[in-house]
């Protein structure tokens, strides 16, 4: 049975890293003593070692020891032997490129589907969808493929922002960009606001957090869905 949390962000405004999720993660990773961290997305160019250290400090609060996948000579074996896995945020293009380069996408997908508890935040949540095509990130590298883990039957747009009617910014809104995606794809997209996450346990996909999320489908008006919505209707 899948045990997955896909969160829009790791950190809320003025909060410490993962703090708002710690009570949830304590239950999600119950019984786990160690966690394998995938630091490939490297937010702001942080090193793999420094990123892993930051994650280690957060998980120490729930008595879980963190090891970075870059520390292993055989990263495939590291995934296969992991008690729990976390992929952090950063640049989704870089993350997906590294997963393919190290031949990890398929083994990561099968390991999670076999029941190893998984957490993704931001870019680490983006890869939970069918493709990474609805990321907000700059394409700093070209991955082998845009196809990702497919843990849910739709795509995510983490950090979803509503249009600010008072802004003088003339660029595209998130909604505009998602609508552009739907001119070429029929994959549904969920705009996930800050502080919201999905819990995927078995076949149930449930929205959690205080805010609603916006669901976009090709040739249909976008709809707001309240917290605790079950997305099994999209399967």
Has residue 34 got a pLDDT over 60?
yes
The pLDDT of 1-19, averaged and rounded, is 92
Structure tokens at 163: 């249009």
**192-233, pLDDT tens digit by residue?**
999 999 999 999 999 999 999 999 999 999 999 999 999 988
Mean pLDDT of the residues in the chain: 95
What confidence tier does 161 reach under pLDDT thresholds 50, 70, 90? Answer: confident
Which domains, and CATH codes, for the chain? Answer: 3-234 (3.40.50.880)
Residue 70: active-site member: no
What confidence tier does 14 reach under pLDDT thresholds 50, 70, 90? Answer: confident
Termini Cα distance of the chain: 16
**10, 122, 125, 196: which one is catalytic?**
122
Q: What is the DSSP letter of 16?
A: P
Residue 168 confidence (pLDDT):
61
Residue 122: active-site member: yes
Residue 16: active-site member: no
Q: How far apart are CA 124 and CA 8, in angstroms?
A: 9
Q: How far apart are CA 84 and CA 90, in angstroms?
A: 20
User: Residue 95's CB: how many other CB atoms inside 10 A?
Assistant: 30
**Secondary structure (DSSP) of 52-95:** HHHHHHHHGGGT-EEEEGGG-S-HHHHHHT-S-EEE--S-HHHH
């Amino acid at each position: 049975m899948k045990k997955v949390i896909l969160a829009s962000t790791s950190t809320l405004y003025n909060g410490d890293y993962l703090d708002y999720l710690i009570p949830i993660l304590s239950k999600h990773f119950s019984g786990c003593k160690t966690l394998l961290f995938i630091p490939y997305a490297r937010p702001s160019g942080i090193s793999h070692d420094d990123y892993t250290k930051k994650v280690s400090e957060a998980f120490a609060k729930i008595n879980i020891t963190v090891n970075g996948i870059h520390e292993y000579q055989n990263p495939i074996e590291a995934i296969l032997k992991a008690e729990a896995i976390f992929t952090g945020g950063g640049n989704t293009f870089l993350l997906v490129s590294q997963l393919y380069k190290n031949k990890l996408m398929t083994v990561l997908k099968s390991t999670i589907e076999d029941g190893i508890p998984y957490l993704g935040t931001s870019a680490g949540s983006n890869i939970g969808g069918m493709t990474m095509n609805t990321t907000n990130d700059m394409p700093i590298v070209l991955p082998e493929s845009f196809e990702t883990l497919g843990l849910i039957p739709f795509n995510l747009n983490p950090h979803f922002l509503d249009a600010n009617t008072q802004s003088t910014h003339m660029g595209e809104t998130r909604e505009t960009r998602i609508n552009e995606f739907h001119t070429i794809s029929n994959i549904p997209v969920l705009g996930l606001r800050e502080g919201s996450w999905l819990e995927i346990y078995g076949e149930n996909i449930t929205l959690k957090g205080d805010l609603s999320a916006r669901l976009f489908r090709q040739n249909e008006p976008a709809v707001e869905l309240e917290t605790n919505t079950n997305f099994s209707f999209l399967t």
